[in-house]
């Protein structure tokens, strides 16, 4: 079964710190991978989409990388701010079924 795992489930960091969120997946034959942000009680917002042929994508302070051979992706957040506090979810398109989601990492940035 194709699975997506995010560890840790929760992370707390002081404001200004650079941080990395991790995502691992069980099958290297992916079409693309997306990172989402979810604020409490709200829907998900797509942050970055990495196609299988790409190694990374950047948007502002966010940088997502993809290593298909090792089944891993990372989301790097530079100079974290309290407004970055949210749950971050990784989702993988394995091509056969709709996106498979990880359970997310709940990030708290402490002022």
Q: How far is the CB of 46 from other proteins (least distance, A)?
A: 4
* Rounded-to-integer distance, Cα 111 and Cα 109, Å: 7
Q: How far is the CB of 45 from other proteins (least distance, A)?
A: 7
* Rounded-to-integer distance, Cα 68 and Cα 54, Å: 10
Q: How far is the CB of 25 from other proteins (least distance, A)?
A: 14
Residue closer to other proteins by CB (options 80, 87) is: 87
The answer to whether the CB of 30 falls within 8 A of the CB of 92 is: yes
User: What count of residues does the chain have?
Assistant: 111
Which chain residues interact with other proteins by CB under 8 A? 31-32, 34, 36, 41-46, 49, 89, 91, 93, 97-99, 101-104
Parallel, antiparallel, or unpaired for β 44-51 and 19-25?
unpaired
3-state secondary structure of 84: helix
Residue closer to other proteins by CB (options 13, 44) is: 44
Q: How far is the CB of 70 from other proteins (least distance, A)?
A: 23
Residue closer to other proteins by CB (options 2, 63) is: 2
């Amino acid at each position: 079964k194709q699975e997506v795992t995010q560890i840790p489930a929760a992370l707390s960091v002081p404001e200004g710190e650079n941080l990395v969120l991790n995502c691992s997946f069980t099958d290297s034959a992916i079409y693309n991978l997306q990172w989402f942000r979810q604020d409490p009680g709200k829907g998900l917002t797509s942050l970055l989409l990495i196609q299988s042929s790409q190694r990374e994508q950047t948007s502002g302070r966010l940088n997502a990388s993809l290593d298909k051979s090792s089944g891993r992706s990372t989301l790097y957040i530079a100079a974290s701010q309290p407004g970055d506090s949210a749950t971050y979810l990784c989702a993988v398109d394995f091509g056969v079924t709709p996106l498979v989601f990880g359970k997310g990492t709940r990030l708290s940035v402490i002022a």
